[in-house]
Amino acid sequence: MNHLPATFSVIIPNYNNAATLARAIDSVLAQTWPAHEIIVIDDGSSDASPEVAARYGQRIRYIRQANGGVSAARNAGAALASGNWLAFLDADDTFLPERLALHARWIERDPTLDFLLADQNFRTPEGELLQHSIDATPFGRQLLAQHPGQQEIVLEQSQFGALIADGFTEVRTLSIPRATFHALHGFPLGKRIGEDLHLVVRLCAASGRAGVTTQAVADYFIYPASAIRKDVIGAQRNFVTTLEELAAEMTAAPTALRAGLREKIRQARMSLAYMHLRKGERGAALACVTPLLAPLPRWRAVRDVLSILRGLR
């Protein structure tokens, strides 16, 4: 792994986020471990984003491109990066001051870590804390119980399946070597939902050890008017498609990781089925879960289908 000092290129994709872009940039400039560079990729904005970015002068690199989606914007930033590690921040979220320092110091102490994650805060647009990412997940709670009071937890490859199935894989907390990112060909293009998990699954398949910082390092602001919340069923359907296409590509991945991805798909299909049930769309709900019976029915899949059938009554 990388034995050089940890230098972070922070990549901020932006699309019509003039109202929050300065807040995001300021949070990177306030890091106790200074970023090597801040690269803002404007993905075809039509608002005042250029004027906001211009106020920062040479402190940031601001690149405009035709709209291609968040994956294209992040990949474009990574292509320009010169730091040996990458960190990603959406233009409507923020880093906490120790975001880069906590990972950079650990990387320099333990260069065998293939990537790092951390806790993050979920907040309302007004800043009210809703929950943390780690203790909101079964795998995260298990880790905290097994390592009480520890700020740094090492994950081995055998644990990556559980991380994917029931864990926390937030892009704002991901630290990934630039060389690894390029070897994996970055975020998948054409995927507007689940593109971050898509990268992390492939990253886990190529990795042996990861670090988890149990301290929150970022704030993720949940906006009611986001594209996902405007069409929850459509977003969930696209998420299922993204995961299933990825699973078809992962036949050579470690067994535990493939099992974790299958479990994530099961959960995603069940969530989609219940969404349809709540709208009274019985046939659509049943269609969501019957694929879980193939190629060979497992008892859990049978139980899932039965639970939906009970909901049809």
Angle at 241 between CA 240 and CA 244, to 5 degrees: 85
Question: Residue 2: pLDDT above 80?
Answer: no
Assess contact for 227 and 235: CB atoms under 8 A.
yes
Angle at 2 between CA 251 and CA 90, to 5 degrees: 70
- The residues pairing with 118 across neighbouring beta strands, listed in sequence order, are 213
- Percentage of the residues of the chain whose pLDDT score is greater than 90: 85
Q: Is 181 or 226 the better-scoring residue by pLDDT?
A: 181
Residue 248: exposed, middle, or buried by beta-carbon count in 10 A (0-12, 13-18, 19+)? exposed
What is the average per-residue pLDDT within 189-193? Answer: 89
Question: Residue 299: pLDDT above 70?
Answer: no
Give the pairing type, strands 115-123 and 209-221.
Answer: parallel
- C-alpha to C-alpha distance for 291 and 135, rounded to whole angstroms: 31
- Assign domain 8-223 to its CATH superfamily: Spore Coat Polysaccharide Biosynthesis Protein SpsA; Chain A (3.90.550.10)
The confidence score (pLDDT) of residue 304 equals 74
Compute φ and ψ for 10, nearest 5 degrees.
-100, 125
Please state, in angstroms and as integers, the Cα–Cα distance from residue 287 to each residue in 53, 190, 228, 239, following that order.
47, 25, 22, 16
Question: Residue 27: pLDDT above 80?
Answer: yes
Give the global pTM. Answer: 0.92
Question: Residue 297: pLDDT above 60?
Answer: no
123's enclosing H/E stretch is strand 115-123
Question: Residue 48: pLDDT above 60?
Answer: yes
The confidence score (pLDDT) of residue 114 equals 98
SS3 call for 10? strand
Question: Residue 227: pLDDT above 90?
Answer: no
Compute φ and ψ for 192, nearest 5 degrees.
-90, -10
Question: Residue 176: pLDDT above 80?
Answer: yes
- C-alpha to C-alpha distance for 268 and 232, rounded to whole angstroms: 12
pLDDT band at 313 (very low <50, low <70, confident <90, very high): low
Assess contact for 215 and 98: CB atoms under 8 A.
yes
What is the average per-residue pLDDT within 219-235? Answer: 82
Q: How far apart are the first and last CA of the chain?
A: 56
In the chain, which residues fall in CATH 3.90.550.10? 8-223
Question: Helices 299-311 and 282-289: crossing angle, nearest 10°?
Answer: 180
Question: Residue 26: pLDDT above 60?
Answer: yes
- Cα-Cα-Cα-Cα dihedral sign, residues 233, 125, 129, 164: positive
Place of tokens 């806790």: 119
